[in-house]
Chain A
């Protein structure tokens, strides 16, 4: 009888054994080595063992009796240390075994990031029963904490299992969303939300720096200074095929052991199967293709023809309650069409990618009931042109239902606040409707919702429509863009009341129709999020127009203009010299004095931006934000300092205002003016905010314009002191920041909500103080110089990625 030796009792080689038993039980005299001190078990079911839903005994696939019945010699707990192909022997730790045919089924080894401290006790991988048992033991200690490094399939199954065992769990993930190789952002967002709901803490874009402690791991440190105390660290960051043994004995290896479609290696008597295999450049990490390999290998061993073929793979996560599915290619692209369906109420997201009338990829979350049907369409390359329109609704679907544009509002819970001014929630409005209110006027009269600034009118109408059905005809409203049916006002209100704090959260919970927005909605949503959640939300520069991303105004020839701030229009000889030097050094073609009382350097190349900023920073100057939807300038006159008509220190007040407001982002640009007397040399009465100094104090007026429209400001308040004037201005700016529609100048916004509403709101001392406080919280993040910041953190991005102009022509 031929001697068959198998190295590794894994999922793949276990299948080979079964096929041999079923088809030719007496063909080989079989010996199996396994480094683990046990035979074959169902490795993928370690997760239910970890969570306690199953026991180890339940996941054993081949027990001692099985091996005995089938005459398999077991060398379990014995590692193979070498293979001598000349002598045709396998050398185990306890001795040699000769072979006629040899199979490598060595699987993979978990990759351990060589962080300082990675070798401490309590740092485990997630691959085998030992790892699982170590985690179970760590969880036995009451109040124990775990840090899981890696937010992929394995890491999340480990995290969920540990959490079910009562541990406090934090998942660290390097990418911007979980399972980024299997999921898109929207699905990643929902997954994160569900994991957080079950008490798992998730930190994205986490860069782990070191593991500290004595003998045992006690804490994980992140690059941003965060320290996470822990009792166990699970590293689940990827696997590497176990190929050292094969390489040492001279088999041809790339990233893994190279095999042909018959699973034969470079040695005709040696085969390989499972994760240790490389086939046509492909590696493997899921069991489905390994089972195919096992079938082919068994046939090959018996001299029957068969060939291994790659096929589409699908992924699921074995965490109860996190229903996800991903298959095929869902990258999107040319000639590919995305069909997106979101049901915010049920937390459902589905995305299909279609190319040439075939389904080529699918991602779904929350409802994966039809996943296998979709997977079948992908695998079979079915022509879906006939069912394209209703495809996303699945196989059971008949007829032409449409995704409901009001799904987001329908899904709101009764306690969701609809009217911010009067604190009216959805439940109160539906109650009013049930009590007989059938139009906007009646709702206003009974609940006060939409009765003040009116911004929530669209939402109230949607609640009416959702509740009354066809009995209420909703006036057409202008949506933000083609990605949604909601208006800017609706989106703003819902971001607040639903506490949506990320872009994927907005896209999902408000039912966006595209995977990640467009150039119209992205800057708006980015603004709303940073204005409403200054501490939680991180400004996304990729959602900003070029000028705000590069902190300079792009000119029509692709160069930029650079304008340092001149507080209140005051400068010094030193500053002027520094500006002149910079203009010389960077060969600035045009130097212009602007209407905002400062100096513009036009025609600077992108590559030079960080250097010219550095020079200007060295002279004490900061960005003038001449490019931003934010505070631009505070124009002043010389006031009492020099002018015989001056009534107050207008320059001083202008500087104070500029120092308070600079760096803040607003729905559109904001310009201020402060004049020392009604002669108004600073042209304050056509600004967004204008102050005229008079003997009795300061006349604060707002909502002027001097652009496409020209409009005089309207009086908001007469302040007696400088402090009072500043307090009112900041409160007004914050009110505009919190309520304005993106790209509405202040005068447009005031026209919508009415000056009376603004006055009434701001005249309440407590409200004004609260607005000031929120403004300062936001400024604690944004009142800083972006030039210096970008020089420190993003300078490389201003340079070309590569310069191939020096490459030799071939």
Chain B
């Protein structure tokens, strides 16, 4: 099934510190939008599947984030836990256009943000 994309402007890339993250509230829960390099962003669920740690508060390195509560590491592109851990966080389409961050709202409302 192909849900049509509906891009919503959620802010400017410079609203997120380099190697930092900001939260986007949705009806289905909070998303975390990460900025891994000057011009690379990822949107994932904010909640760690281990014990619910807020991933947006983790340390960002490469294209991964380390959960601030117990150091599980997630790949931001696939949402997969890395190393010995297992777990998965949802990922959402996001793109940058002239510095604006566009999030695919359809995917957010169609999936639950865990």
Give A contacts to B, CB under 8 Å. 175-177, 180-181, 184, 331-336, 338, 514-519, 522-523, 541-546, 549-550, 554, 556-558, 796-797, 800-805, 807, 809-810
Q: Is the CB of B53 within 8 A of A801?
A: no
| Nearest residue, chain A, Cβ from B11 | A801
Chain A residue numbers with a CB within 8 Å of B61 are 514, 516-519, 522
The 9 closest A-B pairs by CB, nearest first: A334-B77, A801-B22, A519-B66, A802-B10, A546-B57, A519-B59, A546-B68, A542-B19, A334-B78
Whole-angstrom distance between the Cβ of B44 and the nearest chain A Cβ: 11
With beta carbons under 8 angstroms apart, the residue of A333, A523, A554, A557 that contacts B59 is A523
Q: Is the CB of A805 within 8 A of B57?
A: no
Given A176-B38, A522-B59, A556-B69, 18 more A-B residue pairs with CB atoms under 8 Å apart are A176-B18, A181-B39, A332-B36, A333-B75, A514-B62, A519-B66, A541-B17, A546-B54, A556-B51, A557-B52, A558-B53, A797-B17, A802-B11, A802-B24, A802-B103, A804-B105, A805-B26, A805-B27
Whole-angstrom distance between the Cβ of B104 and the nearest chain A Cβ: 11
Chain B residue numbers with a CB within 8 Å of A549 are 57
CA distance A731 to B40 in the complex (A): 44
Main DSSP-derived SS at the A contact region: loop
Chain A residue numbers with a CB within 8 Å of B19 are 516, 542-543
CA distance A801 to B34 in the complex (A): 11
CA distance A543 to B20 in the complex (A): 9
Q: Is the CB of A807 within 8 A of B16?
A: no
CA distance A679 to B38 in the complex (A): 58
Whole-angstrom distance between the Cβ of A107 and the nearest chain B Cβ: 21
Q: Could you tell me which residues of chain B, from 5 to 34, have a CB within 8 Å of some CB in chain A?
A: 6, 8, 10-11, 15-20, 22-27, 30, 33
With beta carbons under 8 angstroms apart, the residue of B26, B30, B39, B60 that contacts A542 is B60
| Nearest residue, chain A, Cβ from B42 | A333
Known contacts A334-B63, A800-B25; is-contact A542 B109 (Cβ 8 Å): no
Known contacts A332-B63, A557-B52, A800-B25; is-contact A542 B20 (Cβ 8 Å): yes
CB of B112 within 8 A of chain A?
Answer: no
Chain A residue numbers with a CB within 8 Å of B15 are 796, 801
Number of B residues near A (Cβ < 8 Å) is 50
CA distance A429 to B62 in the complex (A): 38
Chain A residue numbers with a CB within 8 Å of B58 are 519, 546
Q: Is the CB of A542 within 8 A of B18?
A: yes
CA distance A801 to B94 in the complex (A): 14
Chain B residue numbers with a CB within 8 Å of A803 are 24-25
CB of B37 within 8 A of chain A?
Answer: yes
CA distance A802 to B22 in the complex (A): 9
With beta carbons under 8 angstroms apart, the residue of A335, A518, A797, A804 that contacts B24 is A804
Whole-angstrom distance between the Cβ of A150 and the nearest chain B Cβ: 15
CA distance A175 to B38 in the complex (A): 8
Whole-angstrom distance between the Cβ of A278 and the nearest chain B Cβ: 14
Known contacts A557-B52, A802-B10, A809-B109; is-contact A797 B22 (Cβ 8 Å): yes
Chain B residue numbers with a CB within 8 Å of A180 are 38-39
Chain B residue numbers with a CB within 8 Å of A516 are 19, 61-62
Whole-angstrom distance between the Cβ of A210 and the nearest chain B Cβ: 21
CA distance A807 to B73 in the complex (A): 32
Q: Could you tell me which residues of chain B, from 65 to 114, have a CB within 8 Å of some CB in chain A?
A: 66, 68-69, 71, 73, 75-78, 80, 101, 103, 105-106, 108-109
